[in-house]
Structure formats: C-alpha cells, structure tokens
Amino acid sequence: MGLLELLIICSVELVIGVKNGFPNLELGKPLPALEPLTLDINIESSTDNINYLEQVNQGIYTPSHGYGFHKIVQQITTHPGHNTPSDNTSDNIQSDNTSLDLSAALTLGETEEGDVPMDFMRELEYSAVFELIYQSTDLGEYVKEVICTRVFARVHMIILFLFNGDVGVLNQLNKLWTLTNKIILNITNHFYHTYTNSCNSCNSSSSCKSCVGCGITNSNSENSENSENSENSENSENGVKSVDNENPGIELGLSERLSYYFDSSEDLQCEKGNFTEFTPKDYNSISKIVYKSELTGLELVIWQAQNWFENAKNVTLTSVSDVKYLLILQVDNNYRLFKWDQKMCLWLDITLESPDLSQLPVEINNKTNSAAKMINNYEVYLRELNYCVKFHYSSEVMRRYSAKLYTSFEYNFLQNSVNLSSRQLFNTENTDEKSGYNVVGVFRSLYGRGRGMKEGVELDISVPEDINYHSVKNGNFTQFLPAHGYTFSKVIQTHMVHNSSSTTSTRISKSSGSVIIWSSFVGMNYVTEVQLYEEADAKYLLLYTKKKNYLLYKWEKGLWINITGTLVDPQKLTLYHKGNPIDKNKLNLCIREFSCEIITERLSYRLTEGLTEMCDCVSYDGKCLWLKTRERLAAVVVKILENKVNLFFQNGKVWRFQVVEHIPKLIKQGYSHYQTL
C-alpha cells in the first residue's frame, strides 16, 4: 500500500455512530399517522387541508392536523381552454377590469357579505404543467411546514421543515431546485496559518470568507473521490466549485444530495481568539470538515456526517501547548473530538477516550442520577473546549426549588472536569450582532446631539457600515438606517470595479470617485430609510423620506434612473372612514423590503378618541378597491416592485389587485392571513 492510500485511509474517521452527549429531546419522537398531500407553491391561498399565512415577501404553508406534504410542485405553464380538477379555492378567479369610480362606489351600499359586485369575474379553464420540487415516501420526511420567499412574484427560495426534525433550504441553481444548506467547512487557513506556533497567534476578527465552502454533500460519496476532485478546487476562489449536471431536487427525501460549493461567508459565523468557533447561521449545518494536506497537496476529510442529525451545529478549533484539537457538536447533541498527530500529520479521532456525558452522575435535590435523565428541558452548545448545557425549568419548579436548582453544566475536555453551577455563568445568546450595529445609536441616545452634530448625513450604498449609519442584509435586500438623531441628506455610490454584480460587496476603485444618486438641502425632504434590492439581472433602490413619500430608482446601463412614477405608488392609496379620507399621518404605515404595510386593525387606537370603527373603504388613484359591509379590513399591502395591492380581511379572505398604468385590476381572490414582522 502506497503512502497516498495510507494517508487517505487514516485521515477519514471510521463510520461509527456515537452516543455520548445529552439526548436531543426533539429527535426520535413517534410520528403521527399522516395522510399525504401535494402542495403547489404557486397557489397563494388556503384550502381545506392547507393553511396559508403571508408575510412580507414570503408565504408559509402548513398542513392540517393528520396531514403532511409528501410532494411539492410548482405550476410552470397554463393552457386556457382545457379542463383541470378544481383545487377548491378561488385562487384562479381572474378579472378583466374591477375599477370602480370612487363617487359611485360610495353609494353602492351593502351587497353580499363584504363583496363589491363582481359580475365581471370569470373563471378560466386550463390545464397545467407542474415541476416536481420535492417528493418522499418516508413519513419522517413528510414536510410539516414550507416557507417560500417570493420576489417579483417568483419563488426564489424554499425552506422545508420535515416531521423528523430535518430542515432543507432549496434554491434555484442553473434553473434546478437544489439543496444548499449543508456546509462543507475547510479549516486549512485556520489550521496551518492561525495555529502554527501557539493559540495566542490568532488575533484576526475577519470572517472565514476565504477558507469556508458551503454546499450539498452526498452522504454516500467515497472519500477517495473527494481526494481526486480536490485538484480541481485549487484553482477556485473562496471554495467555489461547479455543480454536477444532475437535478438533486427531484429525489426521494433529503438524505442524498450532490456536491455544490459556494462562498458561504454569509452562512457561517466565525469567532476568532484563542479558540476559533464556527457556528452555522439560520438553517445551515456543517456536513463535512476538510483540510488541505501540506504533505500531499490533497484535500482530506477529517469528519463527515452520515445522517442529517449527525451534522454539526458548533465546531471549535484550538491549539493548547502546540497540541491542536477539533471539537464538533452534532445536531443530536453528541460530540466528536479530534487531535492532530504531528508525526503522522493526520487528525486522529479520540472521541472514544472521552466520557459519555449523558451518564455522568450528579446529585440534584438529594437524588443521584445523570443530569440528562433528571432534567427534560435544556439547550446544548460549545464554548471553547467545553460541552455546555443550560437547563430550563418550569415556573412551578423554579418557585419551589429555585435555591437548589442547577442552571448550567459544563464539561472541560482538556481538564477532564465537570462544573455544575447554580447561577448563570455566561450568556448563550449571540449578543454581538444585536448590540454591535446599534452601538452608534445607543451612544447618541445617551449623549444627545452635542458637538455640533448635523441632522443630514451622507450615505454611500457601496459601504455597508459607517459611523453615521448601519445596514441590515436579508438575502437580496439591504436596508440602510441612519444613527439616532440623523437622516440622510445625500445618497451616493462609489464607483465600483465592474467585475462584480453586487453593489454593496465589491471592491472600491480609489481613483474613480463617486456618483450622486440623490441629494437635498431641505430638511423635510431628508431620507429616513434606504432599501436596496440586487440580483444578477436587476437592481432597485428605494428612498423613504420624512414626509412619508418615496423615490424609486432602477439600475440601467451603469446609471441609477428615477422611475418613481412608473410603478404602483403608495401615495395614491387612500383609506376612508365614513366617506372622509383618513390622515396618512395616523396610518400605521411601514415600508419593508419594497413593500408598504398598513395594519388597519390598529387604526382605532390612532384615530379620534371613542371611535370604534376603523377603515370602511379603500381606493387607489380615485378607483374604489373595497367597501366595507360586514367584514373588516385587517391589512393593506402594496408590493411596489410587483405593481400589486393586496387587501387582507379579518375573516381570512384576501383580494389581490394588479396595477397597470395606475389602474387597479382584481386578479385573484383567496384565503390567507397577513402577519407583520
């Protein structure tokens, strides 16, 4: 056997399931009897067995009790004139013209329950072609919740919550629905460069952008294949590789997927210090950990999950007295511990040398047993090389035994010691992100606006963070907010290197200067919020002013073009009470991700004292959209980029209007509730 084969065999851990941590109480629960359901994600409405809840730019589907989604499809084409089975919804009802003159609408009086007369409505007969996105015959892999993110009326991302506890995130890559939340972590840069001499040599606080790959892992792939393919990865930056020419979306379940890599700096949080800790963000998890051997130049596998519940939710890498350790916490709360062997230049699995923490005896309330068996509500995480458990108790138990209860459990792998604490020694929440971007605002709220601070400040949308503002990124959306006491008087964009499609993440050319997108010298026109949407083929910029007006720009041919009057305008929307327009300053209006929300259920608290009725009529540009009879309006949502106005009612109905040249047309009716974030 050659040296290469020996290194590959020794570098790959044995496929042995471990059971050495506090049990994950959410796993292994008996599955209920489930009836299969097929979900079409293009239907934005509830049905007899499917509940639909709408949020800004996303919808949430849940099956009724006793049902599960075994198949998820998407309608991609329709052919009018052919029959199709009814889906028991009014989601396919369409209209040629529903515009009513406001003066005429106000005299209509009451009609059938809450409906404006709709004699013009007709139902199209059609046949549909569906794309299969997900399918499973295993009850555990039936889906109990589906979240669809929509932009421009297209589904961009799908999140699947399975009955067995697994979570899958699907994105369209090369026009194929692909699982993208299983991360491959490459520790090469941290391993060789950060910890060459001692643990104190790590002082960087930057993200793991250049050493982390993210993607889908085929759990049955051979380790030799990973080594053979590593040569192709050397030429790619930031762990970027190509996706295989198959569609992993149309398979049974989520257990086997083809490999896909991309820059995962936004999917993985890396905290550096004496210990480097990796924590996947959102619904991501680490399915494999690799490193590049300096001896052979090959990419070798340290550890790889064989099942979804063996994926890692925390990883710690450190060096103590020139001895390197790698600690992995799995989704099932079991752990794996690896140690670097300098003679063999390999990571060795020393998990079996460590104790089974679930069986360690402790004394609680004069009873000796394992903590895992005595306490049935806890959370598990890693802190440096400590396996930590935070206990949670009911209010009744806290009231009776608060003086005798332990709040945390820690096992230190280096010292082989256990620490039980009756007080909270540390905070498990990640407070850095919550407090970090609001530091400026907190400072100014404490110290006022002294030192001649000016109200209007400049915003550069190419720079995400500044002392005068911060940004919050959510997918393709970026929100810029000024610090407390400030507004934006000028919005600019620094000239960018043109080899990137991103506005906020590109490198800046020092000699190219900047372009003014918008500016004002009038305080009332200053901007209180800026929102940016960007993808490969579209970029939009929305400026929201102090007067509750907005400006809309579109990126075309290297310039920001003002297109404010071309799309649906929230300012043309008017709400009435007893025939009188409601003052827009009294509306609970919110602009979020290019959508304007008006939650009319809260209007009664902002109107005249003693008024119990709220909005009873809605119009757009003088055309009536709705008159109240028996049902009450719950929310009005204006989707600016989609030219749509949606009316949500308290009884669960929804009316969807398309606005063409500022003329609203009713295109769909259905059943859905709206939830503001």
Gap between the Cα atoms of 498 and 516, Å rounded: 18
Q: What is the mean pLDDT of residues 195-216?
A: 30
List the single range of 109-118, 183-192, 379-388 with lowest mean pLDDT: 109-118
Dist. CA 565–CA 114, nearest whole Å: 32
- Widest pairwise Cα distance in the chain: 92
**Where does 422-570 show beta strands of DSSP type E?**
456-460, 469-474, 477-482, 487-494, 514-519, 527-535, 538-545, 550-556, 559-562
> Between residues 83 and 301, which one has the greater pLDDT?
301
Say if residues 129 and 77 touch (Cβ distance below 8 Å): yes
Q: CA angle, 412 as apex, 406 and 415 as ends, to 5°?
A: 125
Query: Distance between CA 620 and CA 101 in Å, rounded?
Result: 10
Of 527, 502, 528, the closest CA to residue 517 belongs to 527
**pLDDT of res. 591:** 84
Residue 568 Cα distances to 230, 513, 541, 550, 642, angstroms: 51, 34, 15, 11, 8
pLDDT number for residue 380: 95
More confident residue, 453 or 29: 29
Token readout for 439 is 């530091």
The token pair at 45 is 């409405």
Of the candidates 544, 484, 541, 538, the residue with the CA atom closest to the CA atom of residue 517? 541
**Highest-pLDDT range among 164-168, 235-239, 474-478:** 164-168
Are the C-beta atoms of 21 and 358 separated by less than 8 Å? yes
- The yes-or-no verdict on residue 209 having pLDDT over 60 is no
Q: Residue 304: is its pLDDT beyond 70?
A: yes
Q: How far apart are CA 479 and CA 525, in angstroms?
A: 19
First to last CA, the chain: 60
HSE-CB at 224 with a 13 A cutoff on CA atoms is: 4
Q: DSSP 3-state assignment of 71?
A: strand
Report phi then psi at 58, rounded to 5. -160, 155
Q: What is the DSSP letter of 652?
A: S
Q: What is the pLDDT of residue 23?
A: 92
Beta bridge partners, 418, equal 411
Can you tell me the distance from the alpha carbon of 512 to that of 497, in angstroms, rounded to the nearest whole number?
A: 9
pLDDT in tens, 265-281: 556 665 655 788 999 98
Cα–Cα distance between 49 and 156 in angstroms, integer? 25
Give residues with Cβ within 8 angstroms of 402, minimum separation 6.
none
Quick: pLDDT tens for 348-390. 999 999 899 988 776 666 777 777 777 788 999 999 999 999 9
Residue type, 341: D
Does pLDDT of 238 surpass 80?
no
**How many residues in the chain?**
677
Per DSSP bridges, beta strands 595-599 and 268-271 are unpaired
pLDDT value, residue 616: 87
Residue from 605, 654, 658 nearest 634 by CA:
654
CA angle, 65 then 71 then 75, to 5°: 115
- Residues 6 or more apart whose CB falls under 8 angstroms from that of 79 comprise 126, 127, 128
Rounded to an integer, the average pLDDT of 116-145 is 73
pLDDT digits (tens, 9 = 90+) for 50-68: 999 999 889 999 999 999 9
Question: How many other β-carbons are positioned within 10 Å of the β-carbon of residue 111?
Answer: 13
H or E segment and range at residue 95: none
Residue 174, pLDDT score: 85
Predicted local distance difference test score (pLDDT) of residue 399? 75
Q: Which is more confident, 315 or 29?
A: 315
> Rounded CA gap, 664 and 90, in Å?
19
Q: What is the DSSP letter of 424?
A: -
Mean pLDDT within 510-533 = 84
What percentage of the chain exceeds 90 in pLDDT? Answer: 40
Question: In sequence order, what DSSP letters do the residues of 233-294 get, joined into one string?
Answer: HTTSGGG--PPPSS-TTSSBSSSB-----EE-TTTEEEE-SSEEEEEE-TT-EEEEEEEE-T
Average pLDDT over residues 163-183: 91
Residue that the structure tokens 């009513």 belong to: 100
Nearest one of 285, 302, 262, 271 to 194, comparing CA atoms:
271
Q: How many CB atoms lie within 10 A of CB 491?
A: 23
The pLDDT, as a whole number, for residue 166 is: 94
The DSSP string of 530-566 is EEEEEETTEEEEEEEETTS-EEEEEEETTEEEE-TTT
What are the pLDDT digits (tens) for 573-616?
999 988 889 887 777 778 888 999 988 765 544 444 444 457 88
- The per-residue pLDDT for range 385-428, each reduced to its tens digit, is 999 999 888 887 777 776 667 788 899 998 888 888 875 433 33
* Least confident range of 141-155, 418-432, 661-675: 418-432
Higher pLDDT: 328 or 216? It is 328
Indicate if the pLDDT at residue 262 is higher than 80: no
What is the average per-residue pLDDT within 476-501? 80
Residue with the larger pLDDT of the pair 192 and 218: 192
Q: What is the 3-state secondary structure (H, E, C) of 356-407?
A: CHHHCEEEECCEEEEHHHHCCCEEEEEECCEEEEEECCCHHHHHHHHHHCCC
Q: CB of 149 within 8 A of CB of 170?
A: no
Q: Which residues pair with 439 in a beta bridge?
A: none
pLDDT of 113 reads 40
**Cβ partners under 8 Å of residue 529, min gap 6:** 479, 480, 481, 543, 544, 591
Annotated domain spans of the chain: 3-16+177-353, 28-84+125-164, 357-421, 437-562, 570-674
| Distance from C-alpha of 276 to C-alpha of 252, rounded to nearest angstrom | 37
Please state, in angstroms and rounded to a whole number, the distance separating the CA atoms of residues 482 and 460: 12
Residue 634 confidence (pLDDT) above 80: yes
- CB atoms under 10 Å from CB of 219, counted, come to 17
Q: In the chain, pLDDT over 70 holds for what percent of residues?
A: 67
Tokens standing for residue 349: 């699995």
Element at 87 (helix H, strand E): none
Torsion (CA) 652, 658, 663, 669 in degrees, nearest 10: -30
For residue 29, what pLDDT band results from cuts at 50, 70 and 90? confident
Mean pLDDT of the chain: 74
| pLDDT of residue 520 exceeding 70 | yes
